[in-house]
A and B are shown apart, each in its own frame.
Chain A
Amino acid sequence: MGARWRYLANEVAIGLRRNLLMTLATVVTVTVSLALLGAGMLVQLQVDKAQRVLYGEVEISIFLLDSISADQRTSLEQDLSDTGLVQEIIYVSKEQAYRDVQEIFAGDETILESVTPKILPASFRVKLDDPQQFEVVASQFQAYPGVEEVVDQREVLDKFFRIMNALRNGAVAVALLQLFAAAALISNTIRITAFARREQTGIMKLVGATNWYIRLPFILEGITAGIAGALAAGGLLWLGEATLVSRLKGEVNFIPFITTADVWRVIPVLVLLGAGLAAVAAFLSLRRFLDV
């Protein structure tokens, strides 16, 4: 067996060196495509995480007119809990709203200076048993005396999530195109290698080497490039997480972010994809160019 492994390692090294530029192009393309795909996967993880927390926290805000009387407010609160759809009602006074704003925009003087307790409406923050029941609650309380507006906060979030999903879809679409290019490059590299080795391959066929024995160096060559690309892509994602996301974490502290552990979860998937894609591309082009 020793001879066989030495032969394989040797052939793969020769093949990769012979087409150094081609190999580099392949690795870079695989890297870019898998990095994009991995980024798409991480965005998805991020959306899942944020959704779980944000949808759980924010439901409906019922903004109140400044003119609302204490009686109107009490009966509004009573009627809200009488609907039987409500899990929790929190009254946010104008002062509380002002404190919230000060907290959220801490350090941003221009905003803080322009905001006074006066211009902020008081509101009820309402958590529903079933978030889907928003329409029922909204239609019932929209025209209620003293109510200015009923806002489904999820709609605001949905906008944010729609943007995230679009980002993810874009990344995945470009990644798929790139993966196709990577497969084409691998196929082309193998054609060149197959041509350079045609004498050797011919002799191997004549003396009765099995088809798999002939194919293996080519396929391993492809897989090596695929795995190298996947690992480089993993490195880029890790770097992105360590710099970009870590900085965001410092600035935005009301949603949870993906962690390095999530990047580690994505990397094995990328390696499998890179290796698998390369193996399939290599196998198919061998049938064409080597007739084995």
Chain B
Amino acid sequence: MIRLDSVTKTYRNQVTALRDISVEITKGEFVFLVGASGSGKSTFIKLLLKDEDPDRGEVYVAGKRLNGMKSWRVPTLRRDLGCVFQDFKLLENKTVTENVGFALEVIGKPRQMIVRTVPEVLELVGLRHKAKAYPGELSGGEQQRVSIARAFVNRPRILLCDEPTGNLDPTTSVGIMKLLDRINRTGTTLVMATHDQHIVDSMRRRVIELDDGALIRDQTRGVYGYGG
């Protein structure tokens, strides 16, 4: 589902974000991407989104080779990927329903399909009763659920999460992780960059650890602890 072959990425300011990374993630896996700030986690995610291009090495996502992919093909790639971020990225002037529907609307899905699908996915994330609320009226945890609903509404094959619990308290985070776990169990491949030691330790999933852009650990059913 995702494969990186000897990928190196150096930014223009000479900061090397990823050094010779090779990794393969198969369909349906749940993978934690851990490491200190600046270790290259976000760059890893951006490469999968084709938001950045590697300097060397090959990236494959959802059966597509990203190197040399024409820019007009990128939207098709992204329809296979859902994205969740630390800062939710919700539109303040749209309701919960409109925010989730927006993701379908802008890729040209028919109105009836949107009207049918959005309540379903709001049900899944447990926010059916907040359908008409605006993001400003919701708690952080609820906003992140809206964001997850938006990422998942198009049933992507891969869900990429960049610090999804970074702005949330531990109790709320547990709820979000339960939700992500449920989504993973539907067969969606899930890659989650995180700092949250407690979450990684309690879930016991595959852990990929980056340090200064290098892959220093790849462990199935791993924990957060460095080198552990």
Contacts and interface: CB of A to CB of B under 8 A. Distances in A.
Given A200-B91, A210-B72, A205 B110 contact: no
Interface string B65-89: 0000001101111110101000001
B5 interface: no
A203 B91 contact: yes
A213 B72 CA distance: 11
Contact of A207 (B71, B72, B107, B110): B107
Contacts, number: 56
A264 interface: no
A7 B75 CA distance: 19
B111 interface: yes
A1 to B, nearest CB: 8
Nearest to A200: B91
A207 B74 CA distance: 10
B18 interface: no
A3 interface: yes
A47 to B, nearest CB: 48
B103 interface: yes
Contacts of A202: 89
B89 A4 contact: no
A210 B75 CA distance: 6
Nearest to A212: B72
Interface string A193-225: 000000110111111111101100000000000
A2 interface: yes
B107 A209 contact: yes
B105 interface: yes
Interface in A1-49: 1-4, 7
Contact of B111 (A2, A206, A213): A2
Interface in B83-109: 83, 89, 91, 102-103, 105-108
Nearest to B153: A207
A202 B76 CA distance: 16
B154 interface: yes
A202 B49 CA distance: 13
Nearest to A291: B71
Contacts of B195: none
B75 A209 contact: yes
Given A199-B89, A202-B89, A211 B111 contact: no
Most buried by B among A1, A2, A203, A208: A208
B41 interface: no
B78 A3 contact: no
A209 B106 contact: yes
Given A2-B111, A3-B111, A4-B108, A211 B75 contact: yes
A267 B16 CA distance: 58
B91 A208 contact: no
Given A202-B89, A213-B107, 4 more contacts: A2-B111, A203-B89, A203-B91, A208-B74
